[in-house]
Amino acid sequence: MIVLASASPRRREILTTLGLTFEIDVANVDESVLSGESAPAYVQRVASSKARTVASRRTGSVILAADTTVVVDGAILGKPEDDDDARRMLALLSGRAHEVLTAIAIETTKDRAPRSLARVVRTEVVFRALDRGAIDRYLASGEHRDKAGAYGIQGLAMALVREIRGSYTNVVGLPAAETIDLLVESGALASWPVAKA
């Protein structure tokens, strides 16, 4: 059984679109950035912590967790604290490229030798130039709340993006191809697409 350690509706939608059957068991972990921690180390640590937390209470399962962040000028842009913080983030991203990093972590509890697998996926995203009015109108939609970098590319923010170099689903929050690769490697899937009965 695959268990998704996330409350994200976007991650659920990606797994469902891929034809996977799974349960949800949300992991509540501290997502604070440690002093001096790099963005790849940060997302991998948080995703692995989520997977381990759920694995500790589930047996006979494959736990899938992920964590996504936005990086610009070496700074990690997590979920905005409020609208002012979101406005600051969008102004930083305006008219330039940034990276979206998602770590995927898998913990297997199916056998006597549990396995841990992890991978960090990077995508470069280029925003068009945004004036204050455009930022304020986007914030008025409320779409930015609870999203790394204060935007959701699958919604209205698709109009903020000029170019993507890499995985689109990574920017949404779960890189589909790499997730399938890790699920096959973990033994959760024999192959993909999953055959329908």
pLDDT digits (tens, 9 = 90+) for 66-107: 999 999 999 999 999 999 999 999 999 999 999 999 999 999
- Under the banding of pLDDT at 50, 70 and 90, the label for residue 59 is confident
* CA separation for the pair 33, 47 (Å, rounded): 13
Number of domains within the chain: 1
Q: Smallest Cα–Cα separation from 67: which of 103, 119, 121, 15? A: 103
- What was the pLDDT predicted at 99? 98
- What was the pLDDT predicted at 98? 98
48 located within any domain: yes
Average pLDDT, the chain: 93
At 104-137, the pLDDT tens digits run 999 998 765 678 999 999 999 999 999 999 999 9
- Verify whether residue 67 is a known catalytic residue: yes
* CA separation for the pair 83, 66 (Å, rounded): 25
119 located within any domain: yes
At 8-38, the pLDDT tens digits run 999 999 999 999 999 999 998 999 999 999 9
Q: Torsion-angle region of residue 186: left (phi > 0), alpha (psi -120 to 50) or beta?
A: alpha
- What was the pLDDT predicted at 113? 63
196 located within any domain: no
193 located within any domain: no
> Which CATH number covers residue 99?
3.90.950.10
Kindly state the average pLDDT of the residues 148-175: 96
Name which of 76-80, 86-90, 156-160, 192-196 the model is least confident about.
192-196
* CA separation for the pair 92, 41 (Å, rounded): 22
**pTM of the shown model:** 0.91
Q: Which residue has the higher pLDDT, 196 or 67?
A: 67
194 located within any domain: no
154 located within any domain: yes
- What was the pLDDT predicted at 190? 87
- What was the pLDDT predicted at 195? 61
195 located within any domain: no
- What was the pLDDT predicted at 111? 66
Catalytic residue among 30, 67, 73, 111: 67
Contacts of 170 (CB under 8 A, 6+ apart): 68, 100, 102, 121, 122, 123, 178
> Rounded to the nearest 10 degrees, what angle do helices 132-140 and 83-93 cross at?
130
- What was the pLDDT predicted at 194? 73
Residue 11 belongs to what domain range? 2-186
Query: Is 3:11 a contact under the CB 8 Å cutoff?
Result: no
